[in-house]
Chain A
Amino acid sequence: MEGEFYLGYLTSEVIDVNRLLVDRQNTSVGGTVIFLGTVRELNSENIKLLQLNYEAYETMAEEIFSEIETEARKKWEIEEITVLHRIGTLSVGEVSVIIIVSSKHRKEAFECCRYIIDSVKSRVPIWKMEITNKGKRWLGGTLIPPKEK
């Protein structure tokens, strides 16, 4: 990846949670649910992580994120949705993904936020490489199911 860029749902810059929340203050909503994905210190084998490197098929990822947001807006009455996923190299503790959902009532916001993160993890072409003292490896995950014949 060359240089820093911001397309829409993907960013190579540090996710500024406070700024995102301030930018979207909205007095018509009664509930805001925030999901933060962060880089864990230990991997699944309890080995200390040095870094995570996220790679995306960027143009496809942007399209799928947009599709997921559209689906979510059809399923629930939502005022605002913000989804932002980091790509590039992240250190332990950094935010890799943020999902903020605001609605008049909390129930819709919780359900919608859950739907979005689950969909992101099963459908958006993003991969992470784990870097430890023992080496590097791509983490296995979910095979994207075919959408059409």
Chain B
Amino acid sequence: MAETGSKIDLRLYASVKDLLGTDRIYLDWYDNMSVGDLREKLYELFPILSVVNAQFTISINRRAVDDTKLIRTTDELALLPPISGG
């Protein structure tokens, strides 16, 4: 189990990165923190996300996951806005 005070590290891309003005966010982690909890925390910390109704998928270790997935402090996390490759 991770120690109290552990952080999670989020990578940001494209529109979400520009919206929040950074490509990296560090947040406090807690036991049984889910992707849905993280999503709520982000909306609370960054009201602009709600203002512009920002949509994003969250990935853990380079896999897109749903909101029930639990987060570990060692996970590689990223916010992925709608993609537009090709």
Q: Which A residues form the contact surface with B (CB < 8 A)?
A: 37, 54-57, 59-60, 63-64, 85, 96-97, 117, 120-129, 138-149
Give the docked Cα–Cα distance between A145 and B14 (Å). 18
Chain A residues near B81 (CB, 8 Å)? Answer: 127, 138, 143
Query: For residue A129, which residues in chain B have a CB less than 8 angstroms away from its CB?
Result: 14
Task: Name the one of A57, A97, A122 contacting B13, with C-beta atoms under 8 angstroms.
Answer: A57
Q: B32 interface residue, CB < 8 Å from A?
A: no
By a beta-carbon cutoff of 8 Å, the part of chain B in contact with chain A is 11, 13-15, 18, 55-57, 59, 62-66, 68-69, 78, 80-86
Nearest A residue to B13 via CB reads: A57
Q: Which of chain B's residues have a CB closer than 8 A to the CB of A97? A: 85-86
Chain A residues touching B, majority SS: mixed
Q: Is the CB of B62 within 8 A of A141?
A: no
Q: B59 CB to closest chain A CB, in angstroms?
A: 6
User: Complex Cα distance A145/B67, Å?
Assistant: 12
CB-based nearest B residue for A63: B62
Known contacts A143-B57, A149-B68: does B62 contact A126 (CB below 8 Å)? Answer: no
- B85→A148 contact, CB < 8 A: no
Instruction: With CB as the reference atom, state the residue of chain A lying closest to B15.
Output: A138
**Nearest residue in A to B68 (C-beta to C-beta)?**
A149
